[in-house]
Amino acid sequence: MRHLAEAQVNVELDTGDMILNLGPQHPATHGTLRLVVRLDGERVLAADPVIGYMHRGYEKLTEFRTYPQVTTLINRIDWLSSFANEVPFMDAAEKLMGIEAPPRAYWIRTTLTELSRIATFLLFLGEMGLQVGALTPAFYGFRDREHVLNLIEAATGGRFHPNFNRIGGLKDDLPWGWIAETRSTMKIVLDACDQFEDLVLGNEIFEARTRGIGIIPGDIGTNYGVSGANLRASGVDWDLRRDGRPYLAYPELDFKVWTHTDGDSYARYWVRLQETREAARIVLQCLEGMPAGPIMAKVPRIIKVPEGEVWVETENPLGQMAYYVISKGATGPFRVKIRSASFSNVSILPWLLQGVFVPDVITILASLYFILGDIDR
């Protein structure tokens, strides 16, 4: 018996891989995204994103709406930057009809698009801190975004679903005092960026959890269709506001396209922080150069779009947003294909999550910053 007690027995147990479901309702997935990961201990062997839990069929629904009614659908695709979703569809309809909105309408659209970008990114800058255990940045993000949403509401009447764009222009002009209020708010936004820089980027825990984590090489990101700040954080200097076809007032504005070479979670945060500052500067330029004049072109009372097809793409807060519209000459589109940024930005997950540890999955998901409505459209 003594010999047995002193004997050392080494046995390798084949425990097999473990399957872990993250979502479809999980705080880390920010919506109804289900992520099926196969684990070896704490390390991810494979990850399979499962989407479609909130499919809303927007593309099909547009075939049964008039052109003005379509805006009430598409501003819900990415509900955090809904005004920016309306712009490319209006642009597509105007191109098919051969209509140009007045210059003032273009400048107001540019201003509100950039305000949508700021509101979206302020939430990201706060929530990203939350993913590594810091609650205070989340409160700051919600607090500062409120100032921007107030501006959007004052101009459009809606905080999340403005339905403010019209074919040929805008529903209304800017209210009295709005420009002065916006100037003051941009000062708040720029100060908030400084606070996030000190609070989050200067935090050693944040650096440890994001530096070298979730690296996307530029060529890999391009092959997967990743766009927006996620791609610019991988060193790809591509922004449709500057590099696409000229649209809105961007050709007349002076702004910098920010890039980072590291391609990790830290770089994606850093680029969005700089882009928030840049968006505030663009808004101030728009307020300074805002032309006078009408906000609506002359359009028929009943909108009928001539037969044809068009592809329009813009640089939305989450990345490339495009509409392919086919018209058969009716009051509504015959076919609409939506190319939204989030779908492509998460398509890289099976490649990106291989070999990372479970806690890093959370920060990587947060740094990619996607909206499920933008995926399950």
Question: What does the pLDDT average to over 23-36?
Answer: 76
Residue 4 — pLDDT band, cuts 50, 70, 90? low
Count the residues in the chain.
Answer: 377
* Residue 209 φ/ψ, nearest 5 degrees: -85, -10
The candidate with the shortest Cα–Cα distance to 311, out of 6, 24, 119, 92, is 92
Query: What's the rounded Cα separation, in Å, for the pair 6 and 283?
Result: 77
**Which H/E stretch holds residue 106?**
helix 103-130
What is the pLDDT at residue 94?
A: 93
**Integer angstrom CA distances of residue 140 from 112, 188, 193, 196:** 22, 12, 10, 8
pLDDT in tens, 209-266: 999 999 999 999 999 999 999 999 999 999 999 998 999 999 999 999 999 999 999 9
Residue-level pLDDT at 181: 95
CB 350 within 8 A of CB 53: no
pLDDT tens readout for residues 261-319: 999 999 999 999 999 999 999 999 999 999 999 999 998 888 889 999 999 999 999 99
Q: Which residue has the higher pLDDT, 202 or 118?
A: 118
Rounded to an integer, what distance in angstroms lies between the CA atom of residue 375 and that of residue 337? 13
Residue 119: pLDDT above 70?
yes
Read off the pLDDT of residues 339-369 as tens digits, 9 standing for 90 and up: 989 888 989 999 999 999 988 998 999 999 9
Residue 12 is predicted with a pLDDT of: 66
Q: What is the DSSP string of 306-320?
A: PSEEEEEEEEETTEE
Looking at residue 173, the DSSP 8-state letter turns out to be: P
What pLDDT score does 8 carry? 61
Is the model more confident about 165 or about 374? 165
Mean pLDDT of the chain: 90
- Give pTM, 2 decimals: 0.91
Q: From the CB of residue 296, how many other CB atoms can be counted at a distance below 10 Å?
A: 17
pLDDT score of 375 more than 60: yes
CA angle 46–48–51, rounded 5-degree value = 170
Tokens of 373: 């409505």
Q: Is the pLDDT of residue 132 over 90?
A: no
**∠ CA 333-338-340 to the nearest 5 degrees?**
155
CA atoms within 13 A on the CB side of 296: 13
Q: What is the 3-state secondary structure (H, E, C) of 259-308?
A: CCCCCCHHHHHHHHHHHHHHHHHHHHHHHHHCCCCCCECCCCCCCCCCCE
- What was the pLDDT predicted at 13? 63
pLDDT at 24 exceeding the cut of 80: no
Read off the pLDDT of residues 47-92 as tens digits, 9 standing for 90 and up: 898 888 877 788 889 899 999 899 888 888 888 888 998 999 999 9
DSSP-based helix, strand, coil % in the chain, nearest 5: 50, 15, 35
Residue-wise pLDDT tens digits, 148-174: 999 999 999 988 888 899 999 999 999
Task: Report the percentage of the chain scoring pLDDT > 90.
Answer: 62
The answer to whether 168 and 161 are in contact (CB under 8 A) is no
Distance from C-alpha of 43 to C-alpha of 37, rounded to nearest angstrom: 10
Give the start-end residues of each E strand in the chain.
18-22, 34-40, 43-50, 165-166, 169-170, 308-316, 319-327, 335-339
14 pLDDT higher than 70 = no
pLDDT of 15 > 70? The answer is: no
pLDDT of 5 reads 55
Residue 9 pLDDT > 80: no
Task: Specify whether the CB–CB gap between 164 and 170 falls below 8 A.
Answer: yes
Q: Average pLDDT for residues 181-192, to the nearest whole number?
A: 95
What is the share, in percent, of the chain residues with pLDDT greater than 70? 95
CA angle 146, 377, 365 (to 5 degrees): 60
169: left (phi over 0), alpha (psi -120 to 50) or beta: left
pLDDT, position 348: 92
